[in-house]
Amino acid sequence: MDRPSPATPAEALHRDGYKWIALSNTTLGILMATVNSSIILIALPNIFRGIGLNPLSPGNTGYLLWMLMSFLVVTAVLLVSLGRVGDMFGRVRMYNLGFAVFTIFSILLSVTWLNGSAGALWLILMRVGQGVGGAFLFANSSAIITDAFPHHQRGLALGINTMAAIGGSFIGLVLGGLLGPVQWHLVFLVSVPFGLFGTIWAYLKLEDSGMRTHSRIDWWGNATFAIGLVAVLVGITYGIEPYGGHTMGWTSPFVLACLLGGIAILGVFGIIETRVESPMFKLPLFKIRAFAFGNIATLLAALARGGLMFLLIIWLQGIWLPEHGYSFAQTPLWAGIYMLPLTAGFLIAGPLAGALSDRFGARPFATTGMVFTALSFGLLVALPVNFSYVLFALVLLLMGLSMGVFSSPNQAGIMNSLPPDSRGAGAGMVNTFMNSAQVLSIGVFFTLMILGLAAGLPHALYSGLVAQGVPAAAAHQVSTLPPVGSLFAAFLGFNPMQQLLGPTLHHLPHARAAYLTGRRFFPGLIAGPFQTGLDRAFTFAIVAALVAAGASWLRGGKYVHGMAEEGGETPIAPVGPVALDDAGDPIVLGDPEIAAEP
């Protein structure tokens, strides 16, 4: 194959203009998907009231869990497969399909007419459909940007795109808090105009400039990966729920079967991927040090921060806001507003760190970002439950800056290390690690929180109720209920005392009944046990962040596929004839294996 001739001025101008179109459209797509992944977190109380279902009633917690987790689980399962399909049939084509699928299911969510359990099941199934569309978008957006931009600008471009990904998850909180109380259908309708516009814009303007890999679909690999990962993530989801007389379900035969069976099937998947002709999971990519350690850092960083949003919401809605004069009905909106410093820090640091990594490489920024993320978690541990908001906001700002300094350079470093014909598969692998780790992180954080609550909440609840004149038998019954109900109540911004005490309230003096169901009694009781669980969860996050910093440092110096590493131990030399791809990067030709570091 001959080396392509240099681009004419007109072609160069077209390519320079096109890259910004590609960045704008993919950023819109990722922003829309991530806003929708988190918008229901704050709006859940309004959504459940809208369909007439109490999520805290026995038997209904499954609806609550799957409303939260369905989007993440489906996206995590499909990312690698759809990234691989993008490499085979065109990344832009698959991305456009994702925009359309996401928009269709957003419309179906916004016209929900069912109530009760039927309404909850409809919403969950439609969220699954949104997750499929989101997986198409996530799996191909990074690859489209990498194809469109030269290597010396990818850090900035991927920084902006990553900024949309993480920033959108926090913007969704505020939107959910604003729209949910007005009309809960608006929570899903808000993305429809952007989805329609983005679908048409992508179809008209985006171009498939990346290299395609003509190969067969790895059906056995896809099947075993999907079944294994779904089983593990379902096991994690149901492990949080009570089982029998146990606080959580980790000893449930169903949960154990899901976890152990899922891990075994993923082991079979690994064997299959070493033997098929065109594997969906390109294991040889892990020979590239920048790719391997970048993915390890991604996984550990997602483990550290995946459950953070949930704990902050519980902290604000269940304790801090009620104790500072906010009614439970007001807490969802204000929780989103008070978390904005985290978003601001990320929006500031993400593009700047990405642009600097274009010049200096990912290692110094990604490593420093995770070290300061660990420091931020340590500062959250040091804060009292009833904190000063100024200090809380400063810690959140530091955390947002730290995450931005890590995320953008890390993503750029990973994508720069990939051969042009593997960018879709590689991007899918990165996002699969991140999304799967986020689900695992939620399970770990909730588990540690529930253990903390179980250690102190029953005694505090019993003593507090008896002190307010509740009969000992009724107080004992309430205090021995699984603490996960109190945790979910705090997460939803509900005061559970009305439901837990029920008819007992009618036998108490009006002043005492009002106090028990007011905004101070429940937050005051849960604060101490919550602090115990919070310390455990954030200590886990500190360890994960520090290990992620170590993995990030081990990635080596600045490395772009087909070019020499700067500041690393071993230079990388091309192993065959060299051509240029559409972004102006060198391609190693005639190499049957992936060009990896020796």
Whether 472 is in a domain gets the answer no
Nearest Cα to 298, choosing from 426, 173, 160? 426
Tell me, what's the pLDDT at 209?
67
Clarify whether residues 76 and 130 are in a common domain: yes
Cα Rg of the chain (Å, integer): 25
Tell me, what's the pLDDT at 388?
92
Clarify whether residues 186 and 229 are in a common domain: no
Instruction: Please identify, among 231, 246, 277, the residue that sits at the C-terminal boundary of a domain.
Output: 277
Clarify whether residues 386 and 420 are in a common domain: yes
C-beta pairs of 590-595 under 8 Å, 24+ apart in sequence = 593/284, 594/282, 594/284, 594/285, 594/287, 594/288, 594/419, 594/422, 595/419, 595/561, 595/562
Alpha carbons 222 and 237: distance in angstroms, whole number: 22
Residue listed under structure tokens 């808000």: 190
Whether 491 is in a domain gets the answer no
Domain range enclosing 323:
9-217+278-453+528-588
Instruction: Please identify, among 251, 277, 303, the residue that sits at the C-terminal boundary of a domain.
Output: 277
- Counted domains in the chain: 2
pTM of structure: 0.78
Clarify whether residues 238 and 351 are in a common domain: no
Whether 593 is in a domain gets the answer no
Whether 486 is in a domain gets the answer no
Alpha carbons 207 and 579: distance in angstroms, whole number: 20
CA distances from 170 to 34, 135, 406 (A): 9, 19, 17
3-state SS class at 586: strand
Instruction: Please identify, among 241, 259, 277, the residue that sits at the C-terminal boundary of a domain.
Output: 277
Whether 515 is in a domain gets the answer no
Specify which residues 578 forms β-bridges with.
Answer: 588
Clarify whether residues 192 and 262 are in a common domain: no
Q: Are 205 and 99 in contact (CB under 8 A)?
A: no
Whether 494 is in a domain gets the answer no
Clarify whether residues 289 and 325 are in a common domain: yes
Identify the segments of the chain with pLDDT beneath 50. Answer: 1-14, 565-598
Nearest Cα to 381, choosing from 487, 540, 525, 240? 540
The DSSP letter of residue 246 is B
Whether 471 is in a domain gets the answer no
Clarify whether residues 320 and 252 are in a common domain: no
Tell me, what's the pLDDT at 197?
92
Whether 206 is in a domain gets the answer yes
Clarify whether residues 290 and 400 are in a common domain: yes
Which pLDDT tens digit goes with each residue over 116-159? 899 999 999 999 999 899 888 988 888 888 888 887 787 778 77
Alpha carbons 173 and 158: distance in angstroms, whole number: 23
Tell me, what's the pLDDT at 390?
95
Which pLDDT tens digit goes with each residue over 363-422? 999 999 999 999 999 999 999 988 999 999 999 999 999 998 998 888 888 888 888 777
Sequential DSSP letters for 42-74: HHHHHHHHHTT--TTSTT-HHHHHHHHHHHHHH
